[in-house]
Amino acid sequence: MNRRAGFTLVELLVVAGIFAALFGLMLNGFRPDASGQVRRDAQSIVSAILAAQSRAIGNPAGAGLILEPAGATRAVATVSAADMLPLITGSCTDGIPPSNRSATTAPSVTISPSNAASGELASGYRIQFGRSAPGQAAAPWMDFSGGAGGNGTVSFRTASGQNAQNTIWPELGTGLPVVIARYPAKGEVLVDLAKTVAIDLGYSGIGDGADLAGKGAIGLTFDSVGGLDAVMQQVGTGTAAATHPLSPVYLLVAPRKEVEAGTALASQQAVWVVIHPQTGRVSVSSNVPQTDTDATALRAARAKARAQAVIGK
């Protein structure tokens, strides 16, 4: 009896169906996991924050990070190191204390720098009186805004709780020593987010405050004990401004297409990176999607981010 060679059409169709199913499973295995990528990038951001805190400890100038949006958008794709410039040292020769000692601002303070030109005072954002060298005991840090010709304005950090009842203006004496911290410069890129992921400056911010979109490069700087000292806007423009937060700082990490569309607050894939300024603790929490995009919805999302268990814990 002769045996037939080859396969029947039904057998070929069955084998083809098996191969098609296996190929489909393989494609699903290689398909990018959007939610997983967002979380991995969020953890990379946390690692960069913790590394900056570690670099800041024991360093009088501190350390930090810079978040630079892509062009005029609200999406941040890279996190860079903040190169902290050396502290300006010198002396105060006039304007301290102010004539009204209960005032919170001394508008015309004269500084004679010893290791920098007078014009470099314009890059200063905080000042400490009574310290002639790093490590010496001194008065608390105060806000500083440098002007031309060695003049500047010194203010209490009222947002951080300084007031006329708990903060004392120093006495001038003869050449009162000062140190001045300067705005940082952008350093090397530490985190290069995936093309599909971004930090949404539109929904990121301090406490329940306004967003950070449209405010240029954002700086996060840590002091010499690792606490979050300042959140800066317009870093590198010559018109930078610093805020000293008491409330947590929130960074929303989400799929980039949702960030650019302004819908990241409703995303199930988005996560929050939360920095607690006093303790320096950093947490990552999943976003609870919101149906609205107004300030009330933002406050609700941030409150839920604070209350949630940290991802991976």
Closest C-alpha among 95, 82, 269, 278 to residue 169? 95
State how far Cα 191 lies from the chain centre: 13
DSSP bridge partners of 283: 274
Q: Is the pLDDT of residue 312 over 50?
A: no
Dihedral angle sign, alpha carbons of residues 296, 69, 87, 143: negative
pLDDT of res. 18: 67
Write the pLDDT tens digit of every residue in 130-141: 865 555 556 788
pLDDT of res. 30: 46
Binned at pLDDT 50, 70 and 90, residue 236 comes out as confident
DSSP bridge partners of 94: 110
Write the pLDDT tens digit of every residue in 84-102: 999 999 999 999 999 898 8
pLDDT of res. 52: 95
Dihedral angle sign, alpha carbons of residues 132, 134, 136, 142: positive
Q: Per mean pLDDT, which range of 20-34, 77-91, 148-162, 265-279 is the poorest? A: 20-34
CA distances from 24 to 27, 28, 33, 130, 213 (A): 5, 6, 16, 71, 41
Can you tell me whether residue 150 is helix, strand or coil?
helix
Q: Which residues contact 87 (CB under 8 A, 6 or more apart)?
A: 60, 61, 134, 179, 180, 181, 182
pTM: 0.80
pLDDT of res. 76: 94
Write the pLDDT tens digit of every residue in 280-295: 889 999 999 999 888 8
Instruction: Give the Cα separation of 52 and 7 in Å (integer).
Output: 66
